[in-house]
Chain A
Amino acid sequence: MTSNTTESDLSTSAGANQGMEFSTDAYLDMDLLRFLTCGSVDDGKSTLIGRLLYDSKSIFEDQLEAAESASLSRGDQRMDLALLTDGLRAEREQGITIDVAYRYFATPKRKFIIADCPGHVQYTRNMVTGASTANLALILIDARHGVIEQTRRHSFITSLLRIPHLVVCVNKMDLVDWSQETYEKIRSDFEEFAARFEINDITFVPMSALTGDNVVNRSTNMEWYQGPSLLHHLENVHIAGDRDMIDPRFPVQWVVRPQGDEHHDYRGYGGQVASGVFQIGDEVVALPSGLESTIKSIDIGGVEQQYATPPQSVSIQLEDDIDLSRGDMLCRPNNQATSGQNIDAMVVWMAEQPMVVGKKYTIRHTSNEVRCVIKDLRYRMDIETLHRVEDASDLKLNEIGRVSLRTTRPLFFDPYRQCRATGSFIIVDEQTNNTVGAAMIVGETS
């Protein structure tokens, strides 16, 4: 692996590529961390992502050259890093980010998927989309401005979507003379308001994405900071415990049924393990039938294995021939999902046309599709002030509210706080077929 020789404003991070050697064995043993970055153009988010990608050698020379030549032809003084990440022509022309973009990089320890989301309030739905699959959120704070309304909104969404880990990047420390006092003030301000949210793991990193301090390498400008660099934290944060290994939930997605004589007796229930561990010999119960059986085999594409964990996609065969099809769920007899039709959920509205109480929609939950009617909007959350608006009559685009709904058939669910996979659903408009809402189940309506 050669040292970098590209001439760009990123190459100031000397030696960043050292220690990035991949060995085949290590690569095959890496795990996956999906994280979310939220911020607006001014926060230095693009610079931060550009640096992570560049320092991990995930930007290629021809991509850099394309961004450089585009900057030049636009008359910019130096390469605009946002050009590396803003994909659609309209975004490039207007200099804004309007959609979630997914980016990829790897270090010898981990593979990373970044959901790069726009920060402004009118893009709340995009942030929620990116947050739905993230294990970790990066929130950027401009050290000159401290905690602002946007910081609160992003933290609230992080908590609402139950992203297990949060990293607060106090950026642009170079512009506040690397002041420990400024950093500590921001940190205590953040901790004070974050106490209201359920976020278990919060880490603070003072940094400058522009100069590279504490992004990949420890800063020499902030000796007072004893913690790891951002990348070191991303590489080492413990994510194995994020998966729920306790509550077995297996939504049946597809029945694998060979037609030939060779596999005459094979009947596999294909699906992705939502949570918990399933093993050969486990007693299981099927919802909604309530019939019980035992796991005979577990395989992936015909290759057998002893157990299945989330988020593996497997096929499960049972000892008994019970009626089971798409939309049903396997659980353990002593640990079952709630089966119910009256659902209490937090809903993020994603369409121009508002959510209307009394209207019927289709919802997709695990491998199930059912119709529902919106019974009540209990309150709307004002995401600027985080106050509840009790007399709200509808939910408009990007608004978040507590909703009661009734489904035509029972859903097999858990509270979102317990299981993201069985606690989430999307709302689909039956006229346009569009996905218009995202919902996190609180529980059954009382």
Chain B
Amino acid sequence: MTQTVDTDTAHDGAHYKLTHLKALEAEAIHIMREVAAQFERPALMFSGGKDSIVMVHLAMKAFRPAKFPFPLLHIDTGHNFPEALDFRDRLVERIGERLIVHKVQDLIDKGIASEDPGPYPSRNRAQIPTLLDAIETYRFDALFGGARRDEEKARAKERIFSFRDDFGQWDPKNQRPELWNLYNGRHQMGENIRVFPISNWTEMDVWQYIMLEKIEIPELYFSHTRDVVTRMGQYVPVGDEPFGPREGEEVTSRTVRFRTVGDMSCTAATDSPASTLEDIVAEVAAARASERGARMDDKTNEAAMEDRKKEGYF
């Protein structure tokens, strides 16, 4: 055993400089291990989007060479991009972890969830009962989510350990104080928490980390040619029904990419020639619109996110 570090320099902080990405990584690993230790039945919410892919990567840092002490959980809206589902399945196979898929359609068929009325039905709302059903079915007491505080104003005030009642509801006025790196996960039967290990990351941090760690992400994030229609001033991808063009909409082929990957029915594409991670990082640095600006589900009203969170949305 040899010592490779000169102990005379051990007091010099600069010698052991820790970049902000490594500091954020360390925080996320700590949070994941804390949940593993404090809860009986956690699960990691996995959507196939970049944030949840980063979460899986962080879980590998926290628990390898052992398996994750929890499964991955995908709330499948049935409105996914086919590319995202392919990616999900390949990733799960490569890392050899357990994936649970809970389908919104099954809950709609049972009459527990329902489609939104209106001309552009989104399945955002239908995700809520589906998620709660998964929690009940598998008796999950903690769910990891990839939400970040920079995404939206209501999130900026949410704790890393976010408590929910039996109905999955968030009470913003009654949050536990969260100090230092001490997380209080004590809960009653039936209560569960949402845990956000990358709360303190920004969109830029996520992209930089993906680049630094060479993390594979779906092709949807890179520039490609795609058929879109212009709807509410945004480029909406078209595909097989129910994602076809509506009356009066003209399909055009554009060079686009997605900054965020949600449902096909509510994720807009942006014009972009960015075909590498370096291009994307440069684009994010110059961007003048927020990431959630491409999510039509947040545009309904000013407090849209806060309302949905109170109802049990992530």
Chain B residues near A259 (CB, 8 Å)?
66-67
B14 touching A240 by the CB < 8 A rule? yes
In the assembled complex, A129 has its CB within 8 A of some CB on chain B:
yes
Chain A residues near B178 (CB, 8 Å)?
129, 435
In the assembled complex, A113 has its CB within 8 A of some CB on chain B:
yes
Contact with A along B1-44 (1 / 0, CB 8 A): 11111010011111011111111111101100110110000000
Looking across the interface, which residue of chain B has its beta carbon closest to that of A132?
A: B179
* Cα–Cα distance between A24 and B108 once the two chains are bound (Å): 46
Q: Which of A259, A313, A426 has the most CB of B within 10 A?
A: A313
Contact with B along A71-106 (1 / 0, CB 8 A): 000000000000001111110000000111111101
B286 touching A2 by the CB < 8 A rule? yes
B66 touching A263 by the CB < 8 A rule? yes
> With contacts A245-B13, A424-B179, A426-B179 known, is A266 near B65, CB below 8 A?
yes
CB distance from A199 to the nearest CB of B (A): 19
> With contacts A129-B177, A253-B34, A364-B182 known, is A313 near B289, CB below 8 A?
no
- The segment out of B149-157, B216-224, B241-249 that lies at the interface is B149-157
Chain B residues near A257 (CB, 8 Å)?
66
Chain B residues near A424 (CB, 8 Å)?
179-180, 182
In the assembled complex, B75 has its CB within 8 A of some CB on chain A:
no
Chain B residues near A86 (CB, 8 Å)?
153
Chain B residues near A181 (CB, 8 Å)?
none
A113 touching B17 by the CB < 8 A rule? no
Looking across the interface, which residue of chain B has its beta carbon closest to that of A282?
A: B3
B172 touching A30 by the CB < 8 A rule? no
In the assembled complex, A420 has its CB within 8 A of some CB on chain B:
yes
B61 touching A300 by the CB < 8 A rule? yes
* Cα–Cα distance between A296 and B27 once the two chains are bound (Å): 24
In the assembled complex, A355 has its CB within 8 A of some CB on chain B:
no
A31 touching B10 by the CB < 8 A rule? no
Looking across the interface, which residue of chain A has its beta carbon closest to that of B34?
A: A253
Contact with B along A235-249 (1 / 0, CB 8 A): 000001111011000
* Cα–Cα distance between A294 and B2 once the two chains are bound (Å): 12
Chain B residues near A425 (CB, 8 Å)?
182
- The segment out of A56-64, A218-226, A336-344, A388-396 that lies at the interface is A56-64
B202 touching A104 by the CB < 8 A rule? yes
CB distance from A400 to the nearest CB of B (A): 14
Of the residues B13, B21, B288, contact of A60 by C-beta under 8 Å: B288
B290 touching A63 by the CB < 8 A rule? yes
* Cα–Cα distance between A306 and B3 once the two chains are bound (Å): 8
Q: Considering the complex, which residues of chain A in the window 224-275 have a beta carbon less than 8 Å from any beta carbon of chain B?
A: 240-243, 245-246, 253-254, 256-259, 262-263, 266, 270-272
Chain A residues near B232 (CB, 8 Å)?
none
- The segment out of B83-91, B97-105, B123-131, B205-213 that lies at the interface is B205-213
Looking across the interface, which residue of chain A has its beta carbon closest to that of B288?
A: A61
Looking across the interface, which residue of chain A has its beta carbon closest to that of B4?
A: A306
A421 touching B180 by the CB < 8 A rule? yes
A258 touching B205 by the CB < 8 A rule? no
Looking across the interface, which residue of chain B has its beta carbon closest to that of A242?
A: B13
A253 touching B177 by the CB < 8 A rule? no
In the assembled complex, B293 has its CB within 8 A of some CB on chain A:
yes
Chain A residues near B187 (CB, 8 Å)?
433
Chain A residues near B179 (CB, 8 Å)?
128-129, 132-133, 424, 426, 435, 438
* Cα–Cα distance between A111 and B16 once the two chains are bound (Å): 18
B287 touching A60 by the CB < 8 A rule? yes
B157 touching A246 by the CB < 8 A rule? no
Looking across the interface, which residue of chain A has its beta carbon closest to that of B200?
A: A113
A433 touching B188 by the CB < 8 A rule? yes
* Cα–Cα distance between A362 and B36 once the two chains are bound (Å): 20
A420 touching B180 by the CB < 8 A rule? yes
Chain B residues near A279 (CB, 8 Å)?
3-5, 7
* Cα–Cα distance between A70 and B152 once the two chains are bound (Å): 15
Chain A residues near B4 (CB, 8 Å)?
279-280, 306-307
Chain A residues near B208 (CB, 8 Å)?
24, 27-28
Chain B residues near A125 (CB, 8 Å)?
177
A281 touching B3 by the CB < 8 A rule? yes
> With contacts A104-B150, A240-B13 known, is A60 near B202, CB below 8 A?
no
In the assembled complex, A211 has its CB within 8 A of some CB on chain B:
no
Of the residues B5, B20, B175, B281, contact of A24 by C-beta under 8 Å: B281
In the assembled complex, A176 has its CB within 8 A of some CB on chain B:
no
B10 touching A313 by the CB < 8 A rule? no
* Cα–Cα distance between A350 and B14 once the two chains are bound (Å): 37
B10 touching A277 by the CB < 8 A rule? yes
A106 touching B287 by the CB < 8 A rule? no
B30 touching A253 by the CB < 8 A rule? yes
Of the residues B21, B27, B184, B290, contact of A428 by C-beta under 8 Å: B184
B37 touching A254 by the CB < 8 A rule? yes
Q: Which of B179, B180, B289 has the most CB of A within 10 A?
A: B179
Chain B residues near A103 (CB, 8 Å)?
150, 156
B30 touching A245 by the CB < 8 A rule? no
CB distance from B58 to the nearest CB of A (A): 9
Chain A residues near B14 (CB, 8 Å)?
240
Chain B residues near A293 (CB, 8 Å)?
none
A62 touching B181 by the CB < 8 A rule? no
Contact with B along A394-433 (1 / 0, CB 8 A): 0000000000000000000000000011001110100001
In the assembled complex, B167 has its CB within 8 A of some CB on chain A:
no
In the assembled complex, A177 has its CB within 8 A of some CB on chain B:
no
* Cα–Cα distance between A1 and B154 once the two chains are bound (Å): 29
Looking across the interface, which residue of chain A has its beta carbon closest to that of B155?
A: A87
A101 touching B30 by the CB < 8 A rule? no
> With contacts A258-B65, A266-B65, A326-B37 known, is A434 near B176, CB below 8 A?
yes
In the assembled complex, B62 has its CB within 8 A of some CB on chain A:
yes
Looking across the interface, which residue of chain B has its beta carbon closest to that of A2?
A: B286
Looking across the interface, which residue of chain B has its beta carbon closest to that of A362?
A: B186
* Cα–Cα distance between A1 and B183 once the two chains are bound (Å): 40
In the assembled complex, A182 has its CB within 8 A of some CB on chain B:
no
CB distance from A242 to the nearest CB of B (A): 7
Q: Which of B1, B188, B278 has the most CB of A within 10 A?
A: B1
In the assembled complex, B306 has its CB within 8 A of some CB on chain A:
yes
17 A–B contacts from the bound complex (CB under 8 Å): A22-B281, A28-B19, A32-B19, A60-B290, A70-B302, A87-B157, A98-B173, A99-B157, A103-B150, A125-B177, A256-B63, A263-B66, A270-B63, A281-B2, A301-B60, A301-B61, A426-B180
User: Ordered nearest first, which 5 A-B pairs have the shortest CB separation?
Assistant: A240-B13, A301-B61, A87-B153, A313-B29, A32-B20
B residues with a Cβ closer than 8 A to A are 1-5, 7, 10-14, 16-27, 29-30, 33-34, 36-37, 60-67, 149-150, 152-157, 172-173, 175-184, 186-188, 199-200, 202, 204-205, 208, 211-212, 278, 281, 285-290, 293, 302-303, 306
In the complex, given contacts A2-B286, A302-B65, A426-B179, what are 8 additional A-B residue pairs having Cβ atoms less than 8 angstroms apart?
A62-B289, A104-B202, A129-B178, A133-B179, A133-B180, A272-B29, A426-B177, A435-B176
